[in-house]
Amino acid sequence: MPNYCVNKQAQANGDHEVHDLTPGVCNRLPLVSNQQALGYHVSCQSAVQAAKLHYWQSNGCYYCCPTCHTS
């Protein structure tokens, strides 16, 4: 089960990206100081829902969570 985090810093469009912390999966991780832990989830969908409890405008990373990324 993958471990996820959300970027505390929003992108220019206001999205806070959710990332898969599994080693080697994502090469676009935020700095550790900008990572808010979301814990282990069976899918990126539940990780994004957990992120929305902190940041209502959350989205999956295009690179490591493509099925949860919306344009």
Q: Express each pLDDT in 2-56 by its tens digit.
A: 999 999 999 999 999 999 999 999 999 999 999 999 999 999 999 999 999 999 9
Q: Are strands 35-40 and 58-60 parallel, antiparallel or unpaired?
A: unpaired
Whether 19 contacts 28, CB under 8 Å: yes
Predicted pLDDT at 43? 96
What is the pTM (predicted TM-score) of this model?
A: 0.95
Predicted pLDDT at 53? 97
The model's confidence at residue 71, banded by pLDDT at 50, 70 and 90, is: confident
d(C-alpha 49, C-alpha 46), whole Å: 5
